[in-house]
Structure 1
Amino acid sequence: MSQQRRAPNTPPPAAQMMQQMVYGFWVSRCLQIMAQLGIADIIGDTPRTVEELAQASGTHAPSLRRMLRLLSGLGVMRKDEQSECWSLTELGGMLRKDNPGSVYGSLMAHGHLLSWQAWGDLVSSLKTGQPSVEKFMGDTFFGYMSTHPEDAAIFNGSMAAYQTLNAPAVVSAYDFSSAKRIMDVGGGTGTLMAHILNAHPAAAGAIFEMPHVAKEARARLSGLGLAERCEVFEGDFFQRIPPGQDVYILSQILHDWDDEKSLRILTNIREAMHADSRLLIVETVLPGDNAMHFGNLYDVAMLVLVGGQERTEAEYSALVSKAGLKVSRILPTSMPPSVVEVVPA
């Protein structure tokens, strides 16, 4: 069997596998503990000695130093040899809660015991096609979160932080200027809608959400000064969606559901659309096999957590066609999700 020639100074395959893949979860765990202990926020803009960090975080200084050394080798931390103080690199700054690009919420959510248990039992999902996390929750993901507000706050915080990065990317990638009425179906507390309305002062917005989320959305939109421009509707997108919008948006919604439930949502939107309406599906579009893509990771995460999936362009085309719709075009953004523009067939 012929072997591909490795580039000079490239570690042998076994070393690459061990260093970059087998031990990868050790690194993510260290970052999760950094977030849990608030070490990045303790440092902030002021370098600290390991003794100061240990005292503030309630840890054992010599042991903490070993973890910081590991992270410094990965470009997350930097130690000043003269002062013996540790600071954050630009990469490490992403761990701070107050950083606009913070990954703190994602680390807290995916470092949660339930997430570790779900991934630890991945084989169950591979054998059954069902989300493994339900074994540990004793309920569906969304059912469990509706009765466990503290856990829900952690996972919702992760989604909110992710949407904060996605929203400006979507607004930059798609031209909303011709739309007078725009509805974000399952739009949460209005992060994406607020970005759209601020960029297009002539547009009127609407959010369609479950009653408990709708209450939060009204309060947030009011605080942003957008209450008069954005109506909030209450309901269930599996039942009916209000008609009359120029643009409907499903942002990070369909990947939560299998094809059967996704088709129900799409069918309800098709019934609400008029002849010139557009539907924007904001999701990661998988490139297919043999390609490294963030969406492939998220696809397996959807399997173990909620039983949903990410999809390829062909899979989206096939899915929406069953609802009497067709993909018009797909616009990439600066973030992993793309904007899949869908129109009546």
Structure 2
Amino acid sequence: MDLPSVMRLAELGDFIIPLTLRAICDLGIADLLTDGPEPVEKLAAAVDADAATLARLLRALAAKGIFTEVEPGTFGLTALAQPLRSDHPLSLRDVYTLLASDLQAWAALPHSVRTGEPAFDRVHGTDYWSYLADHLDESVRVDRWMHSINRLHLRTVLPAYPWAELSHVVDVGGGNGGFLAGLLSRFRTLRGTLFDLPHVVAGAEELLAEAGVRDRCVVTPGSFFDSVPAGADAYLLKTVLPGFTDPQVTTVLGNLRAAMPAHGRVLLLEAVLPAGDTYDVAKLFDVHTLVLTGGRHRTAEETERLCRAAGLRLAEVRPTPTLTVLDLRPA
């Protein structure tokens, strides 16, 4: 009997640790342990939780090296738990949030497997983007998730491309402006336009002001399925197109081509699917995207085919430790 394989499968198939981790992040437990270990009764009182139940969750995570039980009923941070603090430079607290709407969609994954359609629509009776527009509390949590991921992407993607060559970047589908704010902060001669749906950019003004770049950035609400602001020398789409189907992507790329000048470029920042059995987060997100939106992650070759259909060509591919930069130019 191949017992190691059985035990490994039991670990990989577990959903208890991921969901427990997300519940603990939503409670902000790691923030309460910054100065050292604390008894679970004190932690529970601070977050309005049941102490015995909280101890059970922390004990399960400690068994995986996330938190440590330094003595019975007293828990502290480990190296794995440090990034769960809100003040960590690469904080993941808001990344690991527990959204019931996502989990309900995942429970309907068999529907996606049978039909190729997003399980989210099946469960909630509307598409993912419309759902967020109608549930602003969850939309805000998704924005916070993106803001956390942006910290990592800014560190890895910005050194990989000559951003100083550009004068005006339109961040298409740029959320509340977190990535664009970081980009403008590092390149002081660069101007930006933040473009996304009205409810998404509603809080962008404050974020851009806090970053000190509001005077170099225009916030424009709209849908990239209709049109995008014209005349910029670069159009940036970070982790946007995988959320949509091939026909939808072709429409967006066509709108970008119509708006950009002859010297313009489109910069796609995406997790690109590699060939073979190589591990890559793109292969995981590809399934997550199927469940939520019905979109898909793509190989560089698949993206290039969609570009050609929209009058664009793939000029350059620049991998980074996180996302890949796909540089598109007019064909």
Output the TM-score relative to the length of structure 2: 0.92
How far has the Cα of 1:45 moved from its partner?
2.2
Question: Is 1:132–1:305's contact at 8 Å kept on the other side of the alignment?
Answer: yes
Q: 1:307 aligns with which of 275, 294, 298?
A: 294
Distance 2:251 2:5 in 1: 46
How far has the Cα of 1:319 moved from its partner?
1.2
Please tell me the residue identity of whatever aligns with 1:94: P
Distance 2:47 2:222 in 1: 44
Q: Does 1:89 align with 2:81?
A: no
Question: Is 2:172–2:195's contact at 8 Å kept on the other side of the alignment?
Answer: yes
Q: 2:32 matched to which residue of 1?
A: 42
Question: Is 1:167–1:191's contact at 8 Å kept on the other side of the alignment?
Answer: no
Q: 2:274 matched to which residue of 1?
A: 287
Please tell me the residue identity of whatever aligns with 1:106: V
Q: 1:101 aligns with which of 90, 93, 97?
A: 90
Q: Considering only CA atoms, is the larger Rg found in Structure 1 or Structure 2?
A: 1
Distance 1:55 1:205 in 2: 45
Distance 1:321 1:252 in 2: 20
Identify which range, 147-156 or 276-285, moves more after superposition: 147-156
Q: Does 1:56 align with 2:43?
A: no
Matches within 5 A, 1:66-215: 66-81=56-71, 85-108=74-97, 111-215=98-202
Distance 2:12 2:44 in 1: 30
Distance 1:120 1:272 in 2: 41
Q: 2:218 matched to which residue of 1?
A: 231
How far has the Cα of 1:341 moved from its partner?
0.9
Question: Is 2:182–2:211's contact at 8 Å kept on the other side of the alignment?
Answer: no
Q: 1:296 matched to which residue of 2?
A: 283
Question: Is 2:193–2:219's contact at 8 Å kept on the other side of the alignment?
Answer: yes
Q: 1:22 matched to which residue of 2?
A: 13
How far has the Cα of 1:59 moved from its partner?
4.4
Q: 1:3 matched to which residue of 2?
A: none
Can you list the C-alpha shifts for 1:12-46, whole angstroms capped at 9, x where unaligned? 2112111x2122x1110220221233322222323
- Alpha-carbon RMSD across the aligned residues, in angstroms, is 2.2
Unaligned runs of 5+ in 2: none
Can you list the C-alpha shifts for 1:105-145, whole angstroms capped at 9, x where unaligned? 2221xx22211111111110111111111222221111111
Distance 1:193 1:55 in 2: 39
Residues 229 and 58 (structure 1), Cα distance of their counterparts in 2 relative to 1, 3 Å cut: closer
Q: Does 1:13 align with 2:22?
A: no
Please tell me the residue identity of whatever aligns with 1:243: A
Residues 72 and 14 (structure 1), Cα distance of their counterparts in 2 relative to 1, 3 Å cut: same
Distance 2:212 2:22 in 1: 35
Question: Is 1:328–1:341's contact at 8 Å kept on the other side of the alignment?
Answer: yes
Distance 1:51 1:216 in 2: 37
How far has the Cα of 1:146 moved from its partner?
0.9
Distance 2:306 2:125 in 1: 30
Q: 1:245 matched to which residue of 2?
A: 232
Task: State the secondary structure of the residue aligned to 2:192.
Answer: strand
Distance 1:189 1:152 in 2: 11
How far has the Cα of 1:283 moved from its partner?
0.8
Task: State the secondary structure of the residue aligned to 1:163.
Answer: helix
Identity %: 33
Identify which range, 41-50 or 304-313, moves more after superposition: 41-50
Distance 2:57 2:211 in 1: 41
Unaligned runs of 5+ in 1: 1-5
Distance 2:212 2:45 in 1: 43
Distance 2:47 2:216 in 1: 45
How far has the Cα of 1:266 moved from its partner?
0.2
Residues 30 and 219 (structure 1), Cα distance of their counterparts in 2 relative to 1, 3 Å cut: closer
Residues 33 and 212 (structure 1), Cα distance of their counterparts in 2 relative to 1, 3 Å cut: closer
Moved over 6 A (4+): none
Alignment size in residue pairs = 331
Distance 1:206 1:57 in 2: 39
Question: Is 1:168–1:195's contact at 8 Å kept on the other side of the alignment?
Answer: no
Q: 2:329 matched to which residue of 1?
A: 343
